[in-house]
Chain A
Amino acid sequence: MHIVKLSVNGETRELPDLDPETPLLWVLRDHLGKTGTRFGCGKGLCGACTIHVDGAPARACITPASVADGKKITTIEGLEGRVADALRAAWSAGNVPQCGFCQGGQLMSAEHQLRTSPAASKQARDGAMEGNICRCGTYTRIRSAMDQASAGLGGEK
């Protein structure tokens, strides 16, 4: 059997006994102990498991390990850089989280949006967050924090 090889937050991991069809969510959580990627729906509906595969957001719960074979995976634990810093600062300043369960996924979506489309309109920015459910209802604060982070990075307030 082909051995799946993943680079997770810069660390290369080989998974010899892994069924390559196993969704990345469970590979991360159960095989690699990266529990910051959360299980919310298992169907790609809620965004709690959002990760980056080669820098692009993916719902880990419906992304088979085989798809990411040899690719770079970033999880919330490994999310770094100027944009991530600005977002975390804005999230903190705005006291965004309530229970916090979905916030890792929210940040993964937000980081990709601000990193790849720094000049996007506020509307486009908010649109990028549509796939991430927050049952506590922190949306208005998420939007404000995105605005603040975006402005700090030189984008539209």
Chain B
Amino acid sequence: MNRRKFLKQSLAGSFTLGVALQGKTLIARTVQSITESLEEDWSPNIFLSLASDGTLSIIAHRSEMGTGITTTLPMVLADEMEADWERVVVVQGDADSRYGDQNTDGSRSVRQFYKRMRQVGALAKHMLIEAAAKQWDVPVSECIASNHMVVHTKSKRRFLEFGELAVHAAKVEAPTPSTLPLKEASERKYVGKDIPIRSIDAILNGSAQFGMDVRLPDMQFAVIARCPVLGGTATKWDEAAALAVPGVTKIVKVPFATAPYEFNALGGIAVIADNTWAAIQGREKLNVQWEEGAHASFDSDKHHQELLDSATKPGKVVRKNGELTDGPPKGGQRITASYQCPHLAHASMETPCATARITEDSAEIWMTTQAAQGAQGRIAEALGLSPVRVTVHITLLGGGFGRKSKPDFGVEAALLAREVGAPIQVVWTREDDIQHDYYHAASAMHFEANLDAQGKPTSWLQRSAFTPIGYTFNPAAKQGGAGEMGQGFTDIAYELDNLQVESCDANSHLRIGWLRSVCNIFHAFGVGCFTDELAAAAKADPMLYLLERIGFPRNVDLDAMGVSYGNYGSSLEESPIDTGRLRRVIFKAALMSNWQEEYPLLPQKDGIRRGLGISVHRSFLGYVANVVEVAVSKDGALSIPNVYVAVDCGLAIHPDRIKAQMEGAVVFGTSLARWGEITGKDGRVVQSNFHDYRVARNSDAPASIEVAIIENEELPTGVGEIGVPPFAPALLNAIFAATGKRIRSLPLKNHDLGSSD
């Protein structure tokens, strides 16, 4: 069935098992009871469609940016349904609230939809079995579904293909999905198997359609000159010069946004042309004069100092256990340290891009978006339309990392398409992307610990100051809420009798947004490196010291402590902070790296100093430990021969994609730890492209990344983000082990790792 027909079907009315009869007639069926039985607005009956030839179309309602989610979730459905994957066609869903949440970030896809996809599959299977039993006039209990057919088990002779049953199944009364039994672990067919990702052939032959590949009749291309300082406006520009560039057709002013910036179009001077190159050339000629506004004084050197000053002063107490003490017990020591991380840009390979076609009372958008429903809402608002009049098609995403959760570029395309009266594709150049991002927070953390004579902390204070995401929505926001502080800071899982966690103020001068792993990046860095510092002060093995801090296997009950904690939207009852799982990934990574044999006496060879570092982090309900091995030459050249990753993400639905995400996270971590830095000078972002916002290249990536998945039957979690946080601290701890150099600010490019001897 082609996509258009399928969509027409699903929009015509919700149905469980729509079928194509004689290739023409469509039977649609509403199953109201299913929708009503679920707590949220979610309609399982629009997720699949079975044609009479047996072709099963399954909607992938989340966005594909490389995690494999548009393979994984349909695979879960097919498994539960006993469908044959060879006969499944995955169809990318448009923005549609009936799918439930489509916002593909926060590592939520698997968490939110694993069970639901199973329920949809179980429902479809149930209806097919009932239909077959009715055909044969036998009890349902004598029938099973297996490999795309229903079999009468008693006779073992009778069977009907799913396709043959489609029309009959559509007439079966649909039960409430939660009443249906789900498969036992032993009955799994695809879950736990490495199914090839759905777009691989198209990716390898160049036909895959990303946002930038959308082509419509009569479409025009636009690039926008945006103010280099956040909140500034244009006072003068040379329209004639830009129009003189062959191919440029129009210059349009997009209204300038004021704070709060939210997901609004930033505004600027748009150059419209009949090809992208002409638009880029036209923009060069605009010679815009800017009124820069309040953020023109933004300077990263000052800003970093400001953050550090804030973190070294008392802040708002967000967690308190026991009482801090001023000095260490007799024979002990007091250790203090501060850590700093800069702003980061997402720099996904495909820059933001959206294509819009507008009529008087409707809009159609093609977008490389992680947030199709958010885009739909924002575009509807900008155009003064009802959201149901705005269709948002999700293309493949050339990376996302959180940037494409923000639909500002879709709003730009919609506004321009309306103004120009033709379909418009807004293209962000790499410079636009690096200089007008929703940046990962800049941060400073401060730690003070008293150790007793045995090296055990008797008092532990930790403070965090970072530019909060809330700033993007409220210019007065100076601190992250429980959600951001709860990303690796208030939820520190150490056994500490006297602990205080504080949140401190930070001023923001850029749009702040979430980037893969969000605040876990710097919090894991601070906590992971400080723990290693304490281990060194205590003259202990860092791995054993880390295990001692985590203590015995238990659930860290933040609720009982009265701590405000989001737990990534899950309850602590359902998804506890389980230190046993933290311990397990540490053990595993240590074992993989041969830690106990190797640490700390890695032999030096030819002046190359080697070292192992370890770190562990729980985020997005998953647990990951890293052991990183570094080699540092005399002149400070760093290489990473080995990285060992142990991950516990609950039930491993697609082991190969879990491994791929862990490998990618290590490379992403390499980029941010070694070179990742966005700085401001005179209010402007200094970096502009891959020459000065460097990301890891082939030779920079670790020579070997070994990933082990802890096998268990815990609730499956998403894996897009959990791999990133422990990498940077493990890397820096390894550098300390190799060189004795304690580096407390990222990125590494600002530090000399060379040895003087």
Residues of A that sit less than 8 Å from B by CB = 19, 22-23, 26, 29-31, 33-43, 45-46, 48, 75-77, 79, 88, 91-92, 95, 97-104, 107, 126-127, 129-143
Contact = CB atoms under 8 A, between A and B. Distances in A.
A126 B703 CA distance: 11
A139 B701 contact: yes
Contacts of A102: 349, 398
Given A36-B207, A100-B396, A101-B349, A95 B656 contact: yes
A137 B665 contact: yes
B275 A38 contact: no
Nearest to A31: B275
B204 A91 contact: yes
A40 B399 CA distance: 11
Nearest to A92: B200
B697 A100 contact: no
B205 A36 contact: yes
15 contacts: A29-B212, A35-B213, A39-B212, A41-B690, A48-B349, A75-B206, A91-B200, A97-B203, A98-B660, A99-B399, A99-B400, A133-B349, A136-B664, A138-B664, A139-B696
Nearest to B206: A36
A26 B667 contact: no
B690 A137 contact: no
A133 B695 contact: yes
B348 interface: yes
A101 B429 contact: no
B663 interface: yes
Interface of B: 64-68, 194, 196-197, 199-210, 212-213, 215, 221, 246-247, 274-277, 280, 347-351, 396-401, 427, 429-431, 656-657, 660-661, 663-668, 670, 689-691, 695-699, 701-702, 704-705
Given A19-B246, A31-B275, A38-B350, A100 B208 contact: yes
Contacts of B197: 95, 97
A47 to B, nearest CB: 9
B690 A134 contact: no
A75 to B, nearest CB: 7
Given A31-B275, A35-B212, A134-B349, A98 B699 contact: no
Contacts of A79: 206
Q: Kindly name the residue among A26, A35, A75, A137 whose own CB sees the greatest number of chain B CB atoms within 10 A.
A: A137
Q: Kindly name the residue among B277, B349, B429 whose own CB sees the greatest number of chain A CB atoms within 10 A.
A: B349
Main secondary structure of the interface of A (DSSP, over half): loop
A130 B207 contact: no
A130 B204 contact: no
Q: Kindly name the residue among A48, A97, A143 whose own CB sees the greatest number of chain B CB atoms within 10 A.
A: A97
Contacts of A23: 277
Contacts, number: 182
B428 to A, nearest CB: 10
Given A131-B697, A137-B701, 11 more contacts: A40-B430, A42-B429, A43-B430, A77-B207, A92-B200, A95-B660, A103-B204, A130-B699, A133-B697, A139-B698, A139-B701
A77 B397 CA distance: 19
A48 B347 CA distance: 13
Nearest to B656: A95
A137 B347 CA distance: 13
B350 A140 contact: no
A140 B66 contact: no
A45 B431 CA distance: 12
Given A95-B194, A126-B698, A101 B398 contact: yes
A26 B194 contact: no
Contact of B203 (A19, A34, A100, A132): A100
Contacts of A39: 212, 276, 351, 427
Contacts of B401: 135
Contacts of A103: 203-204
A25 B634 CA distance: 43
B697 A95 contact: no
Given A39-B212, A39-B351, A140 B275 contact: no
A40 B428 CA distance: 10
Q: Kindly name the residue among B203, B205, B695 whose own CB sees the greatest number of chain A CB atoms within 10 A.
A: B203
A43 B698 contact: no
B427 A140 contact: no
B349 A99 contact: yes
Q: Kindly name the residue among A29, A126, A135, A140 whose own CB sees the greatest number of chain B CB atoms within 10 A.
A: A135
Nearest to B274: A30
Nearest to B661: A98
Contact of B66 (A75, A99, A132): A99
Nearest to A23: B277
B61 to A, nearest CB: 18
A116 to B, nearest CB: 18
A104 B200 CA distance: 11
